[in-house]
Chains A and B, each alone.
Chain A
Amino acid sequence: MSTPMIELRGIHKSYGAEKVLENLDLRMEKGGFTVLLGPSGCGKSTILRLIAGLETASAGEVLIDGASMREVQPGDRGIAMVFQNYALYPTMTVRENIEYGLKNGGIAKKERDRRIAEIAELVGLGDYLKKKPQFLSGGQRQRVALARAMVKQPRIFLMDEPLSNLDAKLRGQLRKDLIELYRRLGSTFVYVTHDQVEAMSLGTKVILLEKGKIRQEATPEELYARPANVFSARFIGTPPMNIIEADPATSARFPGARHLGFRPEKARITVDRSAVPSGDLIFPGELVTHEMLGSEVLYQVNGPGWKVQVKLYENRRIPFGPVFIHVDRKDIFSFDGDGNSMESPAPGGNR
């Protein structure tokens, strides 16, 4: 593997007595779109801020393009950051916001004007350059924040939940814009989010974190197809994977497994047990809810000690009451007592 664009070596970070990151190693390749994904408090924002230089690690080292960043100021790291709340300067116009970093970087007026015109055109801000951020909508502010980052032509873009303050529709639109932007610029992107849909749709690589530890590092495809552990399985998917405890009946077929998992879209529901293909796993339960979502229908089925969700793409009414869920053997994931996958070796899983 060639020199990674960003490398974290043995990073420790604690705030007082609270340890956020412990002995973390991380590599992000050049030109990749790496998503740091995890629930709140997993340390993903801290990692981003360490790369930016807004935080200093208690121990360990951050390298960018092979060079140690120990003595390098945030402004000199060749990075640009987009903040969750945009962090636009409220007292400056859109134009001044975009220009501020260039001015401080000593870029000549002519070149500044050229770049600002180009960026404003690209993100569609031309009409708003003279306005102050408070007169812009959320989506427009986010575009200003993007423009402010892009105009610096950084080698790395750091994005801290940039879409989380926007409504769902706008989020979808900006997600597409970001993908387009990434493809056009070819820079290295690091993106922090707690939303697995964003992570899956944007990333070329997803790093799933829990409590400061990497739980899985994989492409979105792998993450979906081969979760390394129960945490990963439960985090990815809409809705996420169903996990149920193995019982004596199933452990005969999955020796050693403590948890079994299957994706909601891989399960079937029937009221007629004899219609189940042989070899399928069968879970008798009770159908309790039915949510029509358009192209698919979401059902909740409760059994003894478990609740699972099933997603079907055919629109037929199944009566509430006793049903059988059945899943093809190949769609079942088994996990051991530590919650690790027993299927294939988990790439970049627990270390």
Chain B
Amino acid sequence: MKALKARPYLMIAPAMTIFAVFALYPIIYMLYLSFFKWNMLGPKIFIGLKNYANLLSSKEFGKVFSNSLYYMALSVLLSIVISLAVALFLKKKTALNGFLRASIFAPYIISLVSVSLIWLWFMDLDYGLLNFILGLFGVKPVDWLSDSHMALTSLVIVSVWKGLGFNTLILASALQAIPEYLYEAAELDKAKPFSVFRSITLPMISPTLFFLALTNMIASLKAFETVALMTQGGPSNSTNTFVYYIYQNGFQFFKIGYASAAGVVMMLFIGAFTIAYFMVLDRRVHYR
């Protein structure tokens, strides 16, 4: 009897162990470290909530916070809108569409480091592909990565490009799952194309949109590689985002406690944001 009761726990023990060691323990340790001043070598000095006080009063962190929100909002919005447009365009199952879908999916499987290096070249001020193309149309070269007004948007472009294939794939399969007879019924109901899109297509794929928007949001709040490789947070912190800021403070300035406090704030923010997102939008999603 006793052995039977223990069995389910034994079965999930391996997964739970991995979760505990690699997720739960680091979180708790981060929380612990956030109350200390520590440079990784010297002794840990307990300073209570001082790290949090410093963090929240830091102008730099305010900038990082707003950068992260801007990056998230713009990249999620562009990702969803562009991939939905592409998915609608590629909805029909033809050989050409299959090829196109595979092609735009390709960036998704390339390492983000490689992607960053490719785009570093694309966006080069003097020798980049983008400025070359713009030049053909007589447009003045854009300083993609060193203009503090442009750099963050440039990183958004890279992130949208990378995620486009995946988002399109998911949306295209959601579109294909909408039964054809609904469109026929709408045709008999005199529905105009825009009305069909708004009243049938959008509600039918709303669970997918809901899911994609959320995963994209969380992923974009965790952006790191592009920042680290392409701009190092610059110019003048204009592209510094959550994770890069944590990395900077932890492993460049060796302010481990301070970086941990930033990590805790970021975790709480994402958690609260996700809960709010569910509370506001979940009711408006149609589940089958």
* Chain A residues near B (Cβ < 8 Å): 52-54, 73-76, 79-81, 83, 85, 87-92, 100-101, 104-105, 134, 148
Contact call A91/B286, Cβ cutoff below 8 A: yes
Q: Which residues from B are CB-within-8-Å of A79? A: 188
Q: Which residues from A are CB-within-8-Å of B190? A: 73, 75-76, 101, 104-105
CB distance from B87 to the nearest CB of A (A): 18
Q: Which residues from A are CB-within-8-Å of B179? A: 85, 87
Number of A-B contacts (CB under 8 A): 64
Contact call B286/A101, Cβ cutoff below 8 A: no
B89 interface residue per 8 A CB criterion: no
| Known contacts A83-B181, A134-B288, A92 near B189 by CB under 8 Å | no
Choose one: A53, A73, A88, A90; the contact of B286 (CB below 8 Å). A90
Shortest 4 CB-CB contacts between residues of A and residues of B: A75-B190, A91-B203, A101-B189, A104-B190
Q: Which residues from B are CB-within-8-Å of A91? A: 199-200, 203-204, 206, 286
CB distance from A286 to the nearest CB of B (A): 50
B147 interface residue per 8 A CB criterion: no
CB distance from A350 to the nearest CB of B (A): 33
Q: Which residues from A are CB-within-8-Å of B185? A: 81, 83, 87-89
- The answer for the CA separation of A85 and B74 in the assembled complex, in Å, is 41
Contact call B188/A85, Cβ cutoff below 8 A: no
Interface SS of B by simple majority: helix
Contact call B181/A85, Cβ cutoff below 8 A: yes
Q: Which residues from B are CB-within-8-Å of A92? A: 199, 203
Interface string of B194-205 (1 = CB under 8 A from A): 010001100110
Choose one: A76, A80, A100, A134; the contact of B191 (CB below 8 Å). A100
Interface string of B262-288 (1 = CB under 8 A from A): 000000000000000000000000101
CB distance from B185 to the nearest CB of A (A): 4
Task: For A85, give the chain B residue with the smallest CB separation.
Answer: B181
B182 interface residue per 8 A CB criterion: yes
Q: Which residues from B are CB-within-8-Å of A148? A: 189
B187 interface residue per 8 A CB criterion: yes
CB distance from B193 to the nearest CB of A (A): 11
Task: For B201, give the chain A residue with the smallest CB separation.
Answer: A91
Q: Which residues from A are CB-within-8-Å of B186? A: 89, 100
Q: Which residues from A are CB-within-8-Å of B60? A: none
Contact call A104/B182, Cβ cutoff below 8 A: no
- The answer for the CA separation of A79 and B181 in the assembled complex, in Å, is 16
Task: For B184, give the chain A residue with the smallest CB separation.
Answer: A54
Contact call A87/B184, Cβ cutoff below 8 A: yes
CB distance from B194 to the nearest CB of A (A): 11
What are 19 A-B contacts with C-beta separation under 8 Å? A52-B188, A54-B184, A54-B187, A54-B188, A73-B187, A75-B187, A75-B190, A81-B188, A87-B184, A89-B186, A89-B200, A90-B182, A90-B204, A90-B288, A91-B203, A92-B199, A101-B190, A104-B195, A148-B189
- The answer for the CA separation of A54 and B187 in the assembled complex, in Å, is 8
CB distance from B67 to the nearest CB of A (A): 37
B2 interface residue per 8 A CB criterion: no
Q: Which residues from A are CB-within-8-Å of B7? A: none
Among A75, A88, A134, chain B packs the most CB atoms within 10 A around the CB of A75
Q: Which residues from B are CB-within-8-Å of A100? A: 186, 189, 191, 199
Interface string of B170-192 (1 = CB under 8 A from A): 00000000010110111111111
Contact call B181/A87, Cβ cutoff below 8 A: yes
Contact call A104/B191, Cβ cutoff below 8 A: yes
Task: For A154, give the chain B residue with the smallest CB separation.
Answer: B188
Contact call A87/B189, Cβ cutoff below 8 A: no
Q: Which residues from B are CB-within-8-Å of A52? A: 188
- The answer for the CA separation of A210 and B179 in the assembled complex, in Å, is 28
- The answer for the CA separation of A83 and B179 in the assembled complex, in Å, is 13
Contact call B192/A104, Cβ cutoff below 8 A: yes
Question: Could you list 7 further interchain pairs (A-B, Cβ under 8 angstroms) beyond the known A81-B185, A90-B204, A91-B203?
Answer: A81-B188, A83-B181, A85-B179, A91-B204, A92-B203, A101-B189, A104-B191
